Amino acid sequence: MSVGLIALLDDIAAIAKVAAASLDDVVSQAAKAGAKAAGVVIDDTAVTPGYVIGFAAKRELPIVGKIAAGSLRNKLLILLPVALALSYFLPWAITPLLMFGGAYLCYEGVEKLFEAMMPHHAHQHEAELGTVALQARTLEDEKVASAIKTDFILSAEIMAITLAALPAGSLLMQTIVLALVGIGITVAVYGVVALIVKADDAGVALARNERASAIGRVGRTFGHALVRGMPVFLMLLGAVGTAAMIWVGGGIVLHGVEAYGPPSMGHAVHAATEAAAHALPSAGGALKWIAEAAISGVVGLVVGAASIPIIGFAVAPTWKRLKRLLPG
């Protein structure tokens, strides 16, 4: 009996070691794959706070919560099974779909740039396109629907980039890693967004602190700085988000064109980035990244500018006709 028990315990220990190694592998793969999507994550974090500007302080966190819930639902219930199905049945379709999502990001970014430069024409353009939500009852519904729509594209890019970064493995392993990345990135992004949108309220609380101690004085100074600085910070963050949309979207389209287009396209981009790196070898890595980001940004601007009339004269009228046919 004792020998049998020892053998059983040995088997349990061996299973536990395998399980621990598998868990380690899953976490490692999730971390590596999530890092590949860093550019899109930064984009998501920078863009989202703009959707709560102008609302009462008590509605900020509920709005962020609604967007986060919609983002998680998109990732786990729609995008995860679609990504797995595509990788199994239609692996060739992933890159074109990524390019389509990248083109949409370019459109969103250039449209925001257009709005900042010519707000009157931009508002007229939005009115021609129609509302974002089919049954939006309030401005809050409209903003949440718009944020979730943009997040859907960003989430699709994140899940596709994650899937592409995973080594060949079992369907269960890929599912677990994709789910971990989706949950982890959503919590991280919207946790940071919640901190950003409530920073001014924290500043007000610190500024009203009446303690006479040195800590109280430092807190009041910091609080006043937060209150005064947050509008500027949010404006800069919005600009970063717009630039990131154009840069990330342009980069995705560019990589797709390199995959499907003439080899000379990829060679030209590679030569330009290498030339930038060789110009100052001590900062070669940074200059190479800057050159690639600049080229991606130019591509994003071109794609976004070209897509505005396409959306305005082809997609939007078709969408309006479809909405009229939908019940309710």
pLDDT (tens place) for every residue of the chain, 328 residues total: 444 444 444 444 444 444 344 444 445 554 554 454 555 666 666 667 777 777 777 888 888 899 999 999 999 999 999 988 888 888 888 888 888 888 888 888 888 888 778 766 555 555 555 544 444 457 778 888 888 887 887 788 788 777 777 766 677 878 888 888 888 888 888 888 888 888 878 888 888 877 777 777 888 888 888 888 888 887 887 788 788 888 888 988 888 888 787 777 777 888 888 888 788 777 777 888 888 888 999 999 999 999 888 877 777 677 667 766 755 4
pTM of the predicted protein model: 0.70
Cα separation values, 130 from 139, 182, 204, Å: 14, 31, 38
Q: Are 120 and 179 in contact (CB under 8 A)?
A: no
CA atoms in the 13 A half-sphere facing the CB of 141: 8
Q: Are 248 and 43 in contact (CB under 8 A)?
A: yes
d(C-alpha 53, C-alpha 136), whole Å:
18
Structure-token pair, residue 214: 């040195």
Compute how many other C-beta atoms are within 10 angstroms of the C-beta atom of residue 16. Answer: 10
d(C-alpha 211, C-alpha 118), whole Å:
47
In the chain the first and final C-alpha atoms are separated, in Å, by 72
Q: Are 189 and 44 in contact (CB under 8 A)?
A: yes
C-alpha closest to that of 35 among 136, 198, 154, 166: 166
C-alpha closest to that of 178 among 68, 86, 93, 80: 80
